[in-house]
Structure 1
Amino acid sequence: MKATLQESQSLVLIVDDEPFIRMILRHFLQREGYQIVEAQNGIEALIIFKQLQPDIVLLDAIMPDMDGFECCTELQTLDCGKHTPVLMITGLDDQESVDSAFEVGAIDYVTKPIHWPVLRQRVKRLIQQSQLQQKLEAINLELQRLVTIDGLTEVANRRGFEEYFAQEWQRMKREQSPISLIICDVDFFKLYNDTYGHRIGDRCLQEIAKAIKDIVKRPGDLVARYGGEEFAVILPNTDTLGATYIAENICDAVRKLAIPHRNSQVSPYVTLSAGFTTEIPQQSSDLEEMIAAADLALYQAKAAGRDRFVQNILATQK
């Protein structure tokens, strides 16, 4: 049976220092429908691998300069090589050689002289397994992303916030760099929902989330829906001055949306209150205390009349 369409598009890298072996392998695999690229030694194989990222590597164990075992070890260190199966081809079938092949990362091996039906089935199986593994990992990554995204606003949800904040807190602790946290709350949002209905309320939250994302643009920053009408912004490597600038722009951006709110007690439009704090995490620091400090600053912003931001100076480390 010939290879399927998906298999026929697979690229096989043949690595062998003997031209005759490369030729018969090439002719055999081409008849099976595979695309072929060749390397005559381990060093050349690494260069070609990085450029073309083949679907499988057929690697001769015994070669001058860099043998197959060393080449396989090097392939495992490449990010693009973590999913690529290596099939070792060896004239040695002693226990030590077989063990060495698996120790350096080979998925399977065949011995010389090559048994062609065995090689056909092993190449086919290894490519299929690799493709399936990559699909499963992609699905798992997408599922992981979905469980950390808020379905309504398409920013991170509370779980995504907690995971990312813990990660960046530890990183800033190691680097001794500042991290800022802003917590925002839509002013009089319950009254907004009561006045306009929950469907319009949901649309309001979507517009506000987008406005915040348009302000917070750095790849390392995170916008999250922290609660019902609360949003949080994590700003790694950001000092007090930078956090002040972001908090001010967020509040201003929501004002500029000019979303009518006839029952607001501070403005004819929807507004936002925000509190923030900045810290350089220490060994004795607690990230929960930083969240509490930002939350306290938010409470102070509300108490001061809303539609503003307040910094919790007590928690700030310069």
Structure 2
Amino acid sequence: MPEIIPSNHNPPLILVADDDKMTRIGLRQAMEQEGYQVVEANDGEACLAIYARMRPDVVLLDAIMPCRDGFTCCVQIQRMSGGTRTPVLMITGLEDQESVDQAFAAGAVDYITKPIHWAVLRQRVRRLIQQVRLYQQLEQANHELQRLASFDGLTQVANRRRFDEYLQQEWQRMLRDQTSLSLIMCDIDCFKLFNDTYGHQAGDDCLRQVANVIQNAAKRSLDLPARYGGEEFAVILPTTEQEGAIQVAHAIQVGVRELAIAHTSSKVKSIVTVSLGIATAIPSPITSPELLITAADKALYQAKDEGRDRYSTCVS
């Protein structure tokens, strides 16, 4: 069975498309008795226009109509639906195998013949609505699972898995567009000493606060802040040259200082600070994302060697 588009209507919205007025009246009454909302179309053109505007939960579609028949309409509805499908129940006076096959080939998920058996129709529409609701619940659950699989539970920024996926994705996009891609690697200075002094609960709170600063600094929807591992974070900056990456790194550095989280055992200052490495590259067929990571890591270690609480740059 085709994928079904999730519903946004409560109660469910049924589109009835039939050129026969008495049939439409009968269908409307039957559906309203079930508690559904109903909109009507008297031909194929009106059906498609209403579908495009209202995106009903289920379409009851007469096979034979003027302007466009139900089969043609059904095909067009599925194209308009995109990757997901609105369930279409075809209503037809044609009982031959060829017509039934044509209905399913057009994308209908079920059919019923005229004269309409009203109890059967109600039962089939009820089943389709249940499928729509179930699909909606599954979609919500899948989105939540994807979110959980892509984000770090402690800091609520992207996790390493999502970082790797996104870097590869944006590398390929920048390769195609021949545009700069920047990467910032960020490490909390002397974090082991912080944990040893204040405990792991305080360490977790520090990580959350630093992650929040990084999220606020990487403002564009394209930018991806991620927890790279332990106390190390990374920021992927698509379509960003070195100067733009420096601005983000500086904002992170200043933002973390302004948190003023006490760190009396730090070898840098008496507050939590960060060191950052910045790398920028225009991807080419003979380079790879790993080279960008290596360059950012090299810049990070340079910042540490120069005294920490600073950023350093490297062009890959």
| TM-score interval (norm. to shorter) | over 0.9
Residues 47-196 of structure 1: matches in 2 within 5 Å?
47-79=49-81, 82-196=84-198
Counterparts of 1:94 and 1:289 in 2: how far apart (Å)? 64
Q: After TM superposition, where is structure 1 displaced by more than 3 Å over at least 4 residues in a row?
A: none
Counterparts of 2:103 and 2:10 in 1: how far apart (Å)? 27
1:31 CA drift (Å): 2.1
**Corresponding residue number in structure 2 for 1:30:** 32
8 Å Cα contact 1:91-1:111 kept in structure 2: yes
Note the alpha carbon deviations across 1:89-133, whole angstroms, 9 max, x for none. 112222332222222221111122212222111111111012101
Any idea what SS the aligned residue of 1:234 has? strand
Any idea what SS the aligned residue of 2:264 has? coil
Counterparts of 1:264 and 1:79 in 2: how far apart (Å)? 58
**Corresponding residue number in structure 1 for 2:265:** 263
1:56 CA drift (Å): 0.6
How many residues of Structure 1 are paired with residues of Structure 2 in the alignment? Answer: 308
Q: For residue 65 of structure 2, what is the amino acid of its counterpart?
A: M
Q: For residue 140 of structure 2, what is the amino acid of its counterpart?
A: A
8 Å Cα contact 2:227-2:234 kept in structure 1: yes
Any idea what SS the aligned residue of 2:59 has? strand
Counterparts of 2:236 and 2:83 in 1: how far apart (Å)? 33
Counterparts of 1:275 and 1:94 in 2: how far apart (Å)? 71
Residues 216-227 of structure 1: matches in 2 within 5 Å?
216-227=218-229
Is the counterpart of residue 40 in structure 1 residue 42 in structure 2? yes
* Structure 1 residue ranges without an equivalent (≥5): 1-6
1:260 CA drift (Å): 1.4
Note the alpha carbon deviations across 1:275-316, whole angstroms, 9 max, x for none. 121122222221112111111111111111111111112x0x
Q: For residue 241 of structure 2, what is the amino acid of its counterpart?
A: D
**Corresponding residue number in structure 2 for 1:282:** 284
Counterparts of 1:62 and 1:170 in 2: how far apart (Å)? 49
Note the alpha carbon deviations across 1:39-91, whole angstroms, 9 max, x for none. 11222222222332221100112222222222222222234882421111112
Note the alpha carbon deviations across 1:175-232, whole angstroms, 9 max, x for none. 2222211110001101111111111111111111111111111111111111100001
Counterparts of 1:95 and 1:18 in 2: how far apart (Å)? 24
Counterparts of 1:172 and 1:140 in 2: how far apart (Å)? 29
**Corresponding residue number in structure 2 for 1:9:** 11
8 Å Cα contact 1:261-1:269 kept in structure 2: yes
**Corresponding residue number in structure 1 for 2:302:** 300
Residues 81 and 25 (structure 1), Cα distance of their counterparts in 2 relative to 1, 3 Å cut: farther
Residues 104 and 273 (structure 1), Cα distance of their counterparts in 2 relative to 1, 3 Å cut: same
* Identity among equivalent pairs (%): 57
Decide which moves more: 247-256 or 276-285.
276-285
8 Å Cα contact 1:15-1:22 kept in structure 2: yes
Q: For residue 176 of structure 2, what is the amino acid of its counterpart?
A: R
* Structure 2 residue ranges without an equivalent (≥5): 1-8
**TM-score, scaled to structure 2:** 0.92
Decide which moves more: 180-189 or 29-38.
29-38
Counterparts of 2:255 and 2:287 in 1: how far apart (Å)? 33
Cα RMSD (Å): 1.8
Q: For residue 294 of structure 2, what is the amino acid of its counterpart?
A: A
